[in-house]
Structure 1
Amino acid sequence: MLIDVTKCTEECTGCSDACAKENNIPQIEDKDRQIQYIRKLKIEDKAGKKPPISLPVLCNHCEHPPCEHVCPTSATFIRKDGLVLVDKHRCIGCRYCMIACPYKARSLVYQENETPVAELNGETPIRAAGVVEKCSFCVHLIDKGELPACVQSCNQSHGGAMMFGDLNDPNSEIAKKVAEVKSLTLRADLGLKPHVHYQGL
């Protein structure tokens, strides 16, 4: 994934709204117990010379994910295409992965989803309480040849800040964009090789 923060605005919640709808993420009033696949951070220049940056942060689907290494049940695993996923049937909710993730990209499901069935997306499962969840890049959509919900929403009716594709394919649009314009990854110093790149930082 590639995110151009120069096209992302603080007031826009298109990516997180689309994500919540697609993945049946319930709205929880208690902020400490909210499930977030995407959270937006406001980054301010302490010197005041640059305008604030709106930074969407999500699972970076690292090549060397610390969450996978600490999982005692192998509930967190890396798919052949590089996606880091959670097997909800194996997760025991120990939260070791939440502690290990440097991006704070995981959430524990504290309570059952009470959203009326008619309002739920039948394409994605409802998570049970006691399971840790995170962004899957909408794997159910990718497997059908579609883009993740956040990318679709951002490109259709918002700023067009998000791009998704195969970074290993030099002919892909995303690989060309990364080659043309300098991009950074968050916490590159940790050597995790995250697969979410940012431009405009």
Structure 2
Amino acid sequence: MSRDPDPSREKPEAPSASRRGFVGVAAAALAGVAIAPGIHLVEVARASTDAAAAGANPRVRWGLLIDTTKCAAGCTDCVDACNAENGLDPRPTPTNAQWIRKVEIREVKTGRVSSAPVMCQHCASPPCVDVCPTGASFKRADGIVLVDRHTCIGCRYCMMACPYKARSFVHEPLTDQKPDVPRGKGCVESCTLCVHRIDAGGRTTACAEACTKAGHGAIVFGDLNDPDSEISRRVREAASVQLRADLRLDPGVRYQGIAS
């Protein structure tokens, strides 16, 4: 979900008083305007206020661990769960947003092929944030990389900068949106690590939950900074790699079962 909690978002400087006044007037003018059936800007503003009150915990680094040895090539449980959770159209068309895609990774030396889900890698040094001209792409204090749809101008610089091709552009008007995950035509979007769940006190993402329920156990969500968490324990016990580690972006998504 697009949220911008002040305590957690990294900003170069605070907005001026005049800018704050303009934003306040604009928000008041737009309050109550419907952006989709069942979703109003006033509801989105209230959700953002609740998140800001809590704030993202800077001591936490949320991430995913994906065990490719347990991920079957034909399985789409994580993709289906993501689509259902976030109101994405599951039909495979060139213009449909895609937050998770299944890819095949072939090891050059052995020829071994692994199947793995690839999504926003929630980098510690995200290039999408670096190139965004409006600050719409941002990283929270807990490591989650998001897009603020109120300030996204649809330039798609972030899509070009992402080495994982993890971002999508919304080309068409949207209907039947999820109240917790507002989306909009003309905006860029990507995996949010189910931030709406996290901010509500949830313990896992939709993709990890679906993978566990199906008995695969290929996706683990958790706090990479907590040495007692399952994800940290598994990272210690077995070698894991970061996709395109050579770029030194320090992704929050780690993979096991593939060569570095």
TM-score (norm 1): 0.91
Displacement, 1:55?
A: 1.4
Residue 151 (structure 1) aligned with residue 214 (structure 2): no
Contact persistence 1:3–1:197 (CA under 8 A): yes
Displacement, 1:38?
A: 0.4
Residue 63 (structure 1) aligned with residue 124 (structure 2): yes
Aligned residue in 1 for 2:185: 129
Aligned residue in 1 for 2:39: none
Which has the bigger relative contact order, CA under 8 A and spacing at least 6?
A: 1
Aligned residue in 2 for 1:37: 99
Unaligned runs of 5+ in 2: 1-63
Closer, same or farther in 2 for the Cα pair 1:199/1:129, shift >3 Å?
same
Aligned residue in 2 for 1:142: 198
Contact persistence 1:14–1:158 (CA under 8 A): no
Percent of pairs identical after alignment? 52
Displacement, 1:28?
A: 4.5
Displacement, 1:47?
A: 7.2
Q: Distance in 2 between matches of 1:45 and 1:177?
A: 22
Aligned residue in 1 for 2:12: none
Q: Distance in 1 between matches of 2:211 and 2:90?
A: 21
**For each residue in 1:35-67, what CA deviation from the matched residue of structure 2 results, as whole angstroms up to 9, or x when unmatched?**
1110011224567753x2111100010000000
Residue 195 (structure 1) aligned with residue 252 (structure 2): yes
Residue 10 (structure 1) aligned with residue 73 (structure 2): yes
TM-score (norm 2): 0.71
Which one has a bigger Cα radius of gyration?
2
Q: Distance in 2 between matches of 1:29 and 1:182?
A: 34
Q: Distance in 2 between matches of 1:191 and 1:43?
A: 20
Q: Distance in 1 between matches of 2:109 and 2:225?
A: 38
Closer, same or farther in 2 for the Cα pair 1:68/1:171, shift >3 Å?
same
Unaligned runs of 5+ in 1: none
Q: Distance in 1 between matches of 2:108 and 2:214?
A: 32
